[in-house]
Each structure stands twice: as C-alpha cells, then as structure tokens.
Amino acid sequence: MKAVLFDLDGIITDTAGYHFLAWKSLAKKLGMELDEEFNEQLKGVSRTDSLELILKRGQLENTVTLAEKERLAASKNEVYNQMIKQMNASDSLPGIESLLIDLKTNHFLLGLASASQNGPAILKKLGLYDLFDTIVNPAELSAGKPDPEIFQKAAEQLGCSVSECVGIEDAAADVESINRAKMVSIAVGDKEVLHAADKVIKTTNELTVDLIKTIWTECCEIN
C-alpha cells in the first residue's frame, strides 16, 4: 500500500447535512420539498448534476435555461458557504486528524477524491490542507462518481498504480467508484447500504493505519 484516497463530505467532515439544507432551501424556492430519501441520491454527486436531479424531480428540467441553472447552482453554493463559514479545526470527524497525521508519519501518500469544488477551502478551514499530497480538481473530470475516473486520476497524480491505493467513502455510489477503479474500498456507515465495499466500519473513529494496511493486505491475498 502506498496511498490512501479520501472522500471529503461524510468522511473528513460532516458537511452532508449542510449540502442537504442548502438544496432544500433552493428547492423550496422552486416550489418543491426535498426529503432525506431523495437526498441519498445527491451524495457524492457534483453541484451541476445535483441541480439536474432536483429539476428533474420537479419536472422543470426543460423549462430552466442554462443561464438560470448557473444562477441557481451559484445561489445554492452561496447558501452552503454561508452555512460552513464558522467551520474550523474542531470540525473534522472523530479520529480523522490523527489518522491523517499517522498516515503521513508512516510515509503514506494522501489524496483527496471529492466531487466538491469547495474541497481545498474546507481542508484549509479544518487545518488539514498541508497534509494532502494531491487534490483532484472535480471540474476537470469528464464523469463524476460512480465513474472510477476521480480515483484513477488521484492515483495518477500521486504516481501510484491503482493496486497500491485504498479509497475511503461513505455513500454506495462512491464505493462503486472505488471498486470500478480496482482499488481496495473501505466504507464508513451502514453495512446494508455499503455492502459492496471490501470492508465496512461504523464510524471514522475506527480507522487506523494498522486497520487500513491489514484490509489492503487481506484484499491483495484474495486477488
């Protein structure tokens, strides 16, 4: 194992709720109610693709112009940024900061494979930016998760082969992205939802360098 690739929202920090609230408020202005169940489809999905899904749900996809879509996406991002304004070093999920430091101390490379264009700014707010060796720019991808491109790109940027990487995610479609990149996948959350992962754990607190190395080694022995 040479590198560990992290999702941001739901793994490094708990921003998923803010994304939901910001979309909910935008949808309300469009005359729609969004519930948690629908929100599951938005996890890991880019800003523009999320907007498309919401417009489709309200059967508005053909009535909104491209310029209007850009305005709506920008206004959601403004609301979201307002919500995360106070975010600071205390807002990383349990165990994440010490895990990242331990991984660096053990000379593993760290990559961010997040669909969020706010990724670098959020890592800076959390005081974790300097620990990362690479951050994939989601705006440069031709396809979002569950396509494997974002994880393949992270490995390429780090100069690693996919077999040397482990990916960590919290949503089912995103686990698929890691698996399709032929990397070892670790999921944090509900075992029933995330069963496709090589290993599912309940909370980020359980993630240690030893656990990640053991999962990677076991997967290499099987394959």
Residues at the contact surface with ligand BG6, assessed by CB under 6 A: 8-9, 19, 42-47, 50, 77, 114-118
Site for Mg ion in 103-132 (CB under 5 A): none
Nearer to Mg ion, 58 or 95 (CB): 95
C-alpha–C-alpha distance, residues 203 and 192, integer Å: 15
Contact yes or no for 188/11 (Cβ under 8 A)? yes
Catalytic-residue membership of 9: yes
- Which one of Mg ion, ligand BG6, none is in contact with 114 (Cβ closer than 5 to 8 A by kind)? ligand BG6
Angle at 45 between CA 51 and CA 155, to 5 degrees: 145
Site for Mg ion in 139-178 (CB under 5 A): 170
Other Cβ atoms within 10 Å of 157 Cβ, number: 17
Written as one letter, the residue type at 101 is I
Catalytic-residue membership of 198: no
Other Cβ atoms within 10 Å of 148 Cβ, number: 20
Nearer to Mg ion, 24 or 43 (CB): 43
Other Cβ atoms within 10 Å of 100 Cβ, number: 22
- In the complex, least distance from residue 90 CB atom to Mg ion, rounded to whole angstroms: 20
- In the complex, least distance from residue 47 CB atom to ligand BG6, rounded to whole angstroms: 4
Among residues 7, 170, 174, 198, which one is catalytic? Answer: 7
Residue numbers annotated as active site:
7, 9
